[in-house]
Structures are given as structure tokens and as C-alpha cells.
Chains A and B, each alone.
Chain A
Amino acid sequence: MAQIKLRQVDEYRWEIPREGKMRTRGLIFASKEMLPKIHEDRSLEQVANVATLPGIEGPSMAMPDIHWGYGFPIGGVAAFNLEEGVVSPGGVGYDINCGVRLLRTNLERQAIADRIEELVNALFDNIPTGVGSRRKDLKLTVPTLKEVMRYGAAWAVKQGFGTTDDLAHIEAGGQIPGADPDLVSQFAMDRGKDQLGTLGSGNHFVEVGYVAEIYDEPLARALGLFPGQVTVIIHTGSRGLGHQVCDDFIKVMLKASAKYGIELPDRQLCSAPIRSPEGQQYLAAMAAAANFAFANRQMITHWVRESFEQVLKMGPRDLGLELIYDVAHNIAKIEKHVIDGKEKTVCVHRKGATRAFPPGHPEVPPAYRETGQPVLIPGDMGRYSFVLVGTQRALEETFGSTCHGAGRELSRAAAIKAAKGRRVVQEMAAKGIIVRGAGRDTIDEEISEAYKDVENVVNVTHGAGISKKVAKLKPLGVIKG
């Protein structure tokens, strides 16, 4: 495809006009300053490619953390109607329901100031991290694994890993309906069976931090946040099980695209009609993998709580380690949206994007009916993360979606090169952040300058009105995969 044309709509919105085989326009949320970087890779071409898929409703969108993915861009959002629309594993990604959850505590930062190192070490000991991390204490049989995939976080709670109150604070209650574990291959189950309760590698982490700044006092209070408060973020996904489900279904979809005559500008966009057997099977298998991810974050939450209790010698009541919310980043969801004044059921693909439903929406849990759904945007390990809430404008304009993170700016190889000769762990310690990681490269790859400044990303979504800033969190200690 030729050079992508971009037309400015307003301060935060840019349009790729419909042309060629595009069925709709592209819509990018970004600031003027971000554009040169966005133009460096081929992510805008990917937004245009997604716009060629059948049954797309509204524009093919990208959030300000847009970067080059495979098929769909990362930061991409696209909805497809159930009549002619398609579902694409490339629109979800390999790490199905990679996501993030935020826990609050009753603790003030000063109370744990001299215990951070001990706390980070306890987390590192209790939660397996790194390449191919596995749990020796938790090997699941096939029937149990199928229960995990059917019931998600509810399975973990039933086993004693957390409380039913946790479930009321997770997207979709921690259980995507329609999951069919029988559609998940033996290969996928083999890969996942001893990975439940593990963090994995790459950009996944558990971070102890604190509330550094509050932008909206009443919203912060409603979410249980106060200045100086200790918080915990958990970022991980469906591990090998989800990756295998994606790989298995890309093979299915490559055949399906040919069978149903779907023209593809990129093989990785392979899809099937939502109503076709292939489309339905993918959605049911994806839901099963998504539920595995919800259970995974739930189990890790349990070990986070245990680590705090163990180090600080405090009981759960005093710690107050409650779940604020858990959001999915990589998922396709069947949702109802008003399009051109009419309510339609669509399949919303969010690939590296977060749901951002407004106050009063029926799918927002009762605790947040007044505030809107919490939106959690992790940054890099050296700077800060953000808590926002969803808005009516997001519901109307982006199918209730917003950004999911900072977005990489340097390739991993470039980040490792930039970190060469430096002692990143010591640098971080000098900034008051204790980092433990399974491998040196995984830490080097994650240096702050490898990422966009998440504040710029969040300011675009706040400025565009598709989510609203509540608080800024800063890290104190991080375990990396």
C-alpha cells in the first residue's frame, strides 16, 4: 500500500480517509508530537488493512499507544457486525486476555519504606517468573484444567485463592461466557498445565507502588485510593495455553479465509465470519484461554497477599489488599453498541486496548456504577502508571475502548544496546525502585527509554474524552519475568 494519508480532525484525532479496498475510514488517537514516531513503523498501514475486512462497523481505530503488531496494530480497536462481520485471532493477539489488575492496600508508603526489598524478594520467591516459568506445586490434570477454562477466576476463588468479592471487581466477573474447553487442543493444554499461577516473561510484571498524585479526588475516593497509599499491579496473561490457541486457530482461519472468500492484505489478518463454525469455535476457544488468564491473575493475587502477610506479619484485614479492578488487553467481545442511532450486537476486537465503559453501563460492576469502569494503564518500570475511568464518549466513539499502556518506542534489540555497559538494576535502585528479574536481558529490554512516556499517551485519551484521569502511581519495587 502507498504512503498512508493522514488528515487532522482535531487536537487528538487523525483520520485515514477511506480509499482503495477500505470499507471504512481509519481513526487514530494521537497528539501531533507522537506522529513522527507513529509514521516510522507500518502500524498506520495496519489500521488501513483492518478497514478492508468485511462487516466492520464504525472506523478502524488505534489508540495513542499504537505500534506495529502483526496483522492488526497493537492499540487497535475494531468492531464487526454479526451478519457479515468476521472474527480474527490476529485482532486479539497471541497472548489472549493478557491484562492487568490493580490492588489497593490500607498501607501508607512510609510504613513499608524499609521493607520493600524483602517484599520484592518474597514476591520473586512465591511467583514463578521468567522464560518458561512453571509451578512445581501445581500440576493440573486435564479435567481440572477444563474447569479452569470454563470458570476462570471463579475456579481459583472456589479453590481458596481469593474471595467472591474479588470476582465482583473483574471485567466480565473473571469469566467470559461461552467458553468451550473441548475446542482447546491437547497441545494447548499440555503447554498450559503447569503454567497456571506463573508470570512468564517479556513485559509481564508484579509491581508494588504508591499513589503519587490524584487528579480527581471524589473518583479516587470512590475507587478506594488515597495519596501515598501502597498499591500492587499485576500484568500477565494466558501463557503458553493462550499462545497455542491463537496459533492453532490462525491455521484454521488461513483455510477459512480462503473458504469464505475473504480477501486479505496480510496473512496474519486471517479471519472467518463470526457466524461460521470456524468463527464460533474460535470465540469459544478464545473465551476458554481468556478464562485461564483470569484464573492466572487471580492465583498470583493470592500469592501477592501471602507475600505481604509473610513479610509484614499483618493479617488480611489490616493489609486491606483488595482488588480494585482487572481488565483484559487482548480480547474479542460480543457487546451491544449504539451505531447510527440503532442498537447492534457486534464483536469488538481490542488488541492492546482496554475496555472503558461509562458510569451506569450494565456491564460495569455495581461498585463502579457511579464512577465508570476503572481503567488501568501501566507504564514502564522506571516511571509511573495511571488509573482512569471509562466515559460516555468512549462508549459512543470507540465502542467503549481506550489505550492499554505506553507502547514500545525501541525494539528489544535497540533497548538492550542502549542498556549495554549500564547496570540497570543499580540505576533503578538509585531511583528508589527495587527490581528483581529472571534474566538480565529481560530487565535491559524494559528500560524506561524503551517505552513512550505513558503520561503523553494517557493525556491524549483524557484530552480526547475517551477516559478520565484519576490517579498516578509510582513504582517502589518490581518483579519482572
Chain B
Amino acid sequence: MSHTADVGLKIWGESLEALFANAARALTAVMVDRRRLKGTISRQITVEAPDLEALLVAWLNHLLYLYDTEAFLGRDFIITSLTPERLEARAVGDTYDPTRHLSKTAVKAATYHRLAITQVPDGWQATVILDL
């Protein structure tokens, strides 16, 4: 999805769990060439938010936090528990290394601007705009 200032992600998943996992994969793909990441380290993540949409923003922003603080980039995401207010997940990925990884664009944050999660006939769809 095109947005002049930033990047808008349109994400689909057959379940809400898949939707959240796909959103995280899309975030990583904006930042680096995801295919070059190894699945050697993992992180256990819990985030909470007042509603499902805010939870999606909190989830993506927590992944940005792990990146800024530990250079951790998730490649695969296993959502172990999900309610509209709480998400528990395991992210499997790599430590960013400029000699091995192709850097793309830094993401400042996932925003609430035009944020939406809707149920569609074959699953769930979300729109989230990233501030770059």
C-alpha cells in the first residue's frame, strides 16, 4: 500500500494468530532482506494493550524495541496465546550484522493512523502504517 510519507502494510492471515505473525514478518521485510536471516536465536515476548488494534501496534513496536536494543530481528513468529488485550509469542531470528544482512529502511514506529483489523470471508485483514 502506497503512502507518500511512509509505508502502509496490508496484511492477511487465515486466523488472528496468523495475522499477527504475518504483520511481524512484514515489518522485518521492510527493514532487511528477511531471507538472509538465520533462525538461531529466539525471544519470548508478551505485550498488552487496551484493544486488538492497539495490540497490533504494541506488538510491532515491541519488535522495534528489541531491534534497537539488541539488534534482534525476528524471521519467524509463533503466537502462543492471543486475546484482544494480550499477546504471547516466540520470535525466532538473528542478530543484525551489516556484513551479512542487506539493510533496507529503518522504521521509527507502527502508528495508529488508519489502523484497522477486519474480518474477511477467508480470515482476517489488517492495515497498519509504519512511520519511516
Within 8 A of A (CB), among B46-82: 50, 54, 61, 64-65, 67-69, 71
Query: Please, how many residues of chain A have a CB less than 8 angstroms from a CB on the other chain?
Result: 48
Within 8 A of B (CB), among A180-201: 187, 190-191, 195, 200-201
Q: For chain A, what secondary structure do more than half of its interface residues adopt (helix, strand, loop), or is it mixed? A: mixed
How does the 8 Å CB contact mask read for A381-411 relative to B, with 1 for contact and 0 for none?
A: 0000000000000000000000000001111
B4 within 8 A of A: yes
Within 8 A of A (CB), among B94-131: 96, 98, 102-106, 108-109, 111-115, 129, 131
Given the interface pairs A68-B4, A70-B113, the reply to whether A412 lies near B68 with Cβ below 8 Å is: no
Query: Do B68 and A240 touch across chains, with their CB atoms under 8 A apart?
Result: yes
Q: How many A-B residue pairs have CB under 8 A?
A: 113
Most interface-central of B2, B50, B112 (chain A CB within 10 A): B112
Q: For chain B, what secondary structure do more than half of its interface residues adopt (helix, strand, loop), or is it mixed? A: loop
Given the interface pairs A94-B131, A439-B103, the reply to whether A243 lies near B108 with Cβ below 8 Å is: yes
B3 within 8 A of A: yes
Query: Do A246 and B109 touch across chains, with their CB atoms under 8 A apart?
Result: yes
How does the 8 Å CB contact mask read for A72-104 relative to B, with 1 for contact and 0 for none?
A: 001000000000000000000111000000000
How far apart are the CA atoms of A67 and B64 in the complex, in Å?
25
Among the stretches A11-19, A293-301, A425-433, A440-448, the one at the interface with B is: A440-448
A379 within 8 A of B: no
Which chain B residue has the least Cβ–Cβ distance from A410?
B4
A213 within 8 A of B: no
Query: Do A70 and B6 touch across chains, with their CB atoms under 8 A apart?
Result: yes
How does the 8 Å CB contact mask read for A256-292 relative to B, with 1 for contact and 0 for none?
A: 0000000000111010000000000000000000000
Given the interface pairs A69-B5, A439-B103, the reply to whether A130 lies near B98 with Cβ below 8 Å is: yes
Query: Do A411 and B105 touch across chains, with their CB atoms under 8 A apart?
Result: no
7 A-B pairs closest in CB distance: A70-B113, A201-B106, A439-B103, A240-B68, A191-B68, A411-B2, A268-B113
Known pairs A94-B131, A190-B65, A409-B4; list 7 more (Cβ under 8 Å): A70-B112, A130-B103, A131-B106, A191-B68, A191-B69, A266-B113, A445-B105
For chain B, the bracket of interface size reads: 20 to 34
How does the 8 Å CB contact mask read for A164-177 relative to B, with 1 for contact and 0 for none?
A: 00000000000000
On chain B, the residues within 8 Å of A68 by CB distance are: 3-5
Which chain A residue has the least Cβ–Cβ distance from B113?
A70
On chain A, the residues within 8 Å of B6 by CB distance are: 70, 412
Interface residue ranges, A against B (CB under 8 Å): 41, 67-71, 74, 93-95, 130-132, 134, 187, 190-191, 195, 200-202, 240, 243-244, 246-247, 250-251, 254-255, 266-268, 270, 408-414, 438-442, 445, 481
How far apart are the CA atoms of A132 and B96 in the complex, in Å?
9
B31 within 8 A of A: yes
Query: Do B103 and A438 touch across chains, with their CB atoms under 8 A apart?
Result: yes
On chain A, the residues within 8 Å of B41 by CB distance are: none
Query: Do B112 and A268 touch across chains, with their CB atoms under 8 A apart?
Result: yes
